[in-house]
Chains A and B, each alone.
Chain A
Amino acid sequence: MTFDLETKLSSLAGAYKLIHAQDGSWLDAPDLNVVEMADLFLKIGLRLTTVTGIALEDGETQLIYHFMDGGTVLNVKVCTKKNVIASITSIMPSADWIEREIHDLYAVEFLGHPHLDRLVRPPELPIGFFREKGGEAGKQQRAQTQTKVS
């Protein structure tokens, strides 16, 4: 890659400090305009690998957009507002299924998605099946539920 990622990112409103880690660069930018981001990254040739959804305590969802190009890896962390965020499918068609799946499993609304239909679960089931705590908190929550049942 022939450009300076940090200089390019400085043109994005809401983009904060870039952290370089063993597995690439991480940008924590909860208020980032993802449409502007997608537009810029398409121009500089970054390929969207996928988006990770993580359910937060307050009903919001953290979305991590994972990009790469050759040996360059960039992960951008943003946050939904009222569990809503703009769709980037019109800019990056590879986001189509990714956004539909996050809508299906995390109940995130992607504004401007051309057809935000369910992807992996039947339409008669409620959305947001994956909104569950992981790690130690998830273990404790499941233990409490099992105690109540028994």
Chain B
Amino acid sequence: MPYRIPIGPYHPALEEPYKLQLSCTGETVQAVEIEVGFTLRAIELLAQRRNYVQDIVLVEHVCGICSNVHATAFAMAAEKIAGIQIPDRARYIRTIMGELERLHSHLLWAGIGSEDIGFRSMFMEMYYVRESIMDILEVISGNRVNYGMIAIGGVNRDIPDPKLILPKVQELRKVLENMAIPIFTRNATVKSRTVKIGPLSKQDAIKYGVVGPMARASGVNIDIRQDLPYAAYQDLDFKIVTSEDGDVQARLVVRALEMLESVRLIESALANMPSGPIRIDDPFPTIPAGEATSRVEAPRGEAFYYVASDGSDTPLRVKIRTPSYINIPAIPLLCVGQNLADMPLIQASIDPCVSCTDR
């Protein structure tokens, strides 16, 4: 007779509330039920009560980690409706902000993953490096999170001096190449906790429509930066990272290698950034009647926005589909047949964001 064990809403892997109801036989998980909605903020509904400028601030609060992604996707949808072409320099600044945010998110995840493995010194090292990325974000935007960089028609702040950023990003490359990647791929302790744990086959990944590093670690070749390039990705020769293994180790390695690609993209964007304005002349452009969708590759995968306008200053409808919303329902596939003690690490390996899911 299986016994039931609840994990959450106060969670061993995360500081966010969602609940797993596990059915176990002995130490083996037989079935998983998931509950979300503990922190619903109804941001989609609030967005159709506020104007476009207020909405940029509002959607930044969908997620504390990938706030810039949400503001970017919302602005892109509004710009498509209005037929606005943003200046080239703004495209590059949006790319740099997006990649810095990815580094900060992946390093946060690497820290949490290390702690769940029981590798405390690695956790501290990852958080130490992450602080340098947070410092860069603060130098550029004035904020550690919720940067307020995105405007409809461009960005609010320039990156005047690449020298403020480059040395720290290059330092991160050394840490990744000399420490993080060798430890994550070769260390016996890490491998014993991650190899063949929490597997997700390519077929299931496609069937459940999972996105981001979770999909790419199962051999699914999808990334919005490659499929529907936005900002300056088309100019920077973005290279996708995938793995065929589909386990926790593969998710770890894909994220680690993606950080190297982010560093390369930032270096390339800084070196090739065109001069010129950072936003269009009109600070509050009118969004005419119409509708548009936009997709941005967030650190956890594809973020999707649909915006409809009636020509007034308030959207008719704003739909937000975050990557975690599509990744979390696939958790049972990863958990069934696995050991109970691996549950926190398996949850953490998909980098679930409940703030995004509950919006």
Contacts and interface: CB of A to CB of B under 8 A. Distances in A.
A134 B317 contact: yes
Nearest to B289: A135
Contacts of B36: 119-120
A64 interface: yes
A132 B45 contact: yes
B88 to A, nearest CB: 18
B59 to A, nearest CB: 15
A40 interface: no
Nearest to B358: A120
A72 B302 CA distance: 15
B306 A52 contact: yes
B144 to A, nearest CB: 29
A66 interface: yes
A114 interface: no
A49 B42 CA distance: 20
A132 B319 contact: no
A113 interface: no
Given A22-B80, A50-B304, A138 B49 contact: yes
A94 interface: yes
A121 interface: yes
Contacts of B209: 47-49, 92, 94
Given A50-B319, A136-B314, A64 B44 contact: no
Nearest to B304: A49
A136 B315 CA distance: 8
Interface string A114-125: 000011111000
Interface in B307-346: 308-312, 314-319, 321, 325-326, 329
A4 interface: no
A140 B319 CA distance: 22
A139 interface: yes
Given A94-B329, A134-B48, A52 B317 contact: yes
Contacts of B49: 134, 138-139, 142
A135 B310 contact: yes
Contacts of A68: 227-228, 295
B207 interface: yes
Contact of A66 (B40, B48, B306, B312): B306
Most buried by B among A49, A75, A121, A137: A49
A96 interface: yes
Nearest to B34: A97
A23 B208 contact: no
A150 to B, nearest CB: 18
A135 to B, nearest CB: 4
Contacts of A132: 45, 48
Given A23-B292, A129-B42, A142-B49, A64 B316 contact: no
Contacts of A24: 293
A71 B227 contact: yes
B70 to A, nearest CB: 15
A89 to B, nearest CB: 11
Contacts of B319: 50, 52-53
A27 interface: no
A122 B358 CA distance: 13
B249 interface: no
B206 interface: yes
B294 interface: yes
A126 interface: no
A75 B310 contact: no
Nearest to B221: A70
A17 to B, nearest CB: 17
Interface string B273-294: 0000000000000000000111
A66 B208 CA distance: 15
Contacts of A97: 325, 329
B312 A135 contact: yes
The CB with the most chain A CB atoms within 10 A, among B40, B302, B358, is that of: B40
Contacts of B329: 93-94, 96-97
Given A50-B319, A93-B207, A134-B316, A119 B310 contact: no
6 contacts: A50-B326, A94-B326, A119-B37, A130-B45, A134-B49, A136-B312
Given A94-B326, A120-B36, A120-B358, 11 more contacts: A47-B209, A49-B295, A50-B319, A52-B306, A54-B317, A75-B293, A92-B209, A118-B37, A119-B37, A120-B40, A135-B309
Interface of B: 36-37, 40, 42, 44-45, 48-49, 80, 206-209, 222, 227-228, 292-295, 302, 304, 306, 308-312, 314-319, 321, 325-326, 329, 358
The 4 A-B residue pairs with the shortest CB-CB distance, nearest first, are: A134-B48, A120-B37, A94-B209, A50-B321
